[in-house]
């Protein structure tokens, strides 16, 4: 089954990724991808879909879905480096996957988030993403 990145959420202050379930009166109801626990987060929580995230490159920005695709091509069936890997290992990995990433604006802290999200999606969802055309036909 393909993953719809517009329904996969990251919530500031929370670890992991969440699947959007429903709108609540004063927030959103989500389910953790890892342990399937449901939670409600209020309107004060900073909620972002993975579809809306881009990474800075020397040429502009590249959508996270494209970065995940490049990571999958590079890694095959292997996991991405762990977020606790040494900084230079993460930088070397992204230099291979995304050689033109903006070294001034795409920091190691961002790299750690991206590899963590990649590994969570690989383990609990799918790295095969729905395209905009598929979403519109449904």
The overall average pLDDT reported for the chain is 92
pLDDT reading at 74 higher than 70 = yes
Tokens 């920005």 belong to residue: 61
Read off the pLDDT band of 130 (50, 70, 90): confident
Q: Which fold has domain 54-124?
A: Arc Repressor Mutant, subunit A (1.10.10)
Read off the pLDDT band of 133 (50, 70, 90): low
Distance separating alpha carbons of residues 18 and 10, to the nearest angstrom? 6
pLDDT per residue as tens digits for the range 75-124: 999 999 999 999 999 999 999 999 999 999 999 999 999 999 999 999 99
Read off the pLDDT band of 132 (50, 70, 90): low
Q: Which fold has domain 5-49?
A: SH3 type barrels. (2.30.30)
pLDDT given for residue 71 in this prediction: 96
pLDDT given for residue 1 in this prediction: 79
Whole-number Cα distances in Å, 63 to 34, 42, 114 = 24, 27, 12
Domain 54-124 in the same topology as domain 5-49: no
**Structural domain boundaries in the chain:** 5-49, 54-124
pLDDT given for residue 19 in this prediction: 96
pLDDT reading at 131 higher than 90 = no
Exposed e or buried b per residue across 29-47, where buried means at least 16 C-beta atoms within 10 angstroms of its C-beta:
ebbbbeeeeeeebeeebeb
- Please indicate whether residue 138 or residue 74 has the higher confidence score (pLDDT): 74
pLDDT reading at 126 higher than 50 = yes
């Amino acid at each position: 089954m393909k993953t719809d990145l517009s329904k996969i959420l990251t919530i500031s202050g929370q670890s992991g990724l969440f699947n959007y379930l429903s709108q609540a009166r004063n927030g959103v109801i989500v389910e953790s991808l890892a342990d399937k626990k449901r939670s409600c987060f209020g309107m004060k929580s900073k909620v972002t879909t993975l579809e809306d995230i881009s990474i800075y490159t020397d040429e502009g920005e590249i959508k996270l879905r494209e970065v995940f695709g490049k990571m999958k091509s590079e890694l095959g069936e292997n996991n991405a480096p762990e977020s606790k890997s040494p900084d230079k290992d993460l930088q070397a990995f992204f230099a291979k996957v995304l050689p033109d990433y903006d070294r001034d604006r795409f920091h190691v802290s961002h790299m750690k988030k991206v590899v963590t999200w990649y590994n969570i999606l690989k383990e609990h969802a799918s790295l095969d993403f729905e395209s905009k055309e598929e979403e519109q036909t449904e």
